[in-house]
């Protein structure tokens, strides 16, 4: 996942800054952003798992809704074609 790569790169940057002598106080905003991005990765993994294993509530309704829209759009396009 692209976010995981960005998170890993951020961790390397933070480690390098700390090793270079920059105090944590100066990295607080960066650390906060890293924590938010880490939480986003965890949340997305859970969402992906729910979709993949079919446990995301409401998926059947969503599929039915969009299937109906797709067929309506096809019907409208066929009506717009001149003879």
What pLDDT shows up at residue 41?
A: 95
pLDDT along the chain (83 residues), means of 10: 91 95 96 96 96 92 84 59 58
What pLDDT shows up at residue 15?
A: 95
DSSP H or E stretch at residue 13 = helix 2-19
The pTM for the full model equals 0.67
Cβ atoms of 27 and 18 closer than 8 Å:
yes
Half-sphere exposure of 12 (CA within 13 A, CB side): 6
**Domain locations along the chain:** 2-80
What pLDDT shows up at residue 31?
A: 96
Cα distance between residue 47 and residue 60, in whole Å: 16
What pLDDT shows up at residue 70?
A: 67
């Amino acid at each position: 996942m692209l976010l995981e790569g960005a998170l890993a790169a951020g961790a390397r940057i933070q480690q390098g800054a700390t090793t270079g002598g920059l105090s944590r106080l100066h990295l607080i905003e960066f650390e906060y952003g890293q924590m938010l991005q880490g939480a986003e990765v965890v949340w997305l993994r859970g969402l992906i798992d729910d979709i993949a294993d079919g446990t995301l509530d409401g998926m059947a309704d969503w599929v039915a809704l969009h299937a109906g829209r797709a067929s309506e759009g096809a019907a409208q396009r066929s009506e717009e074609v001149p003879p």
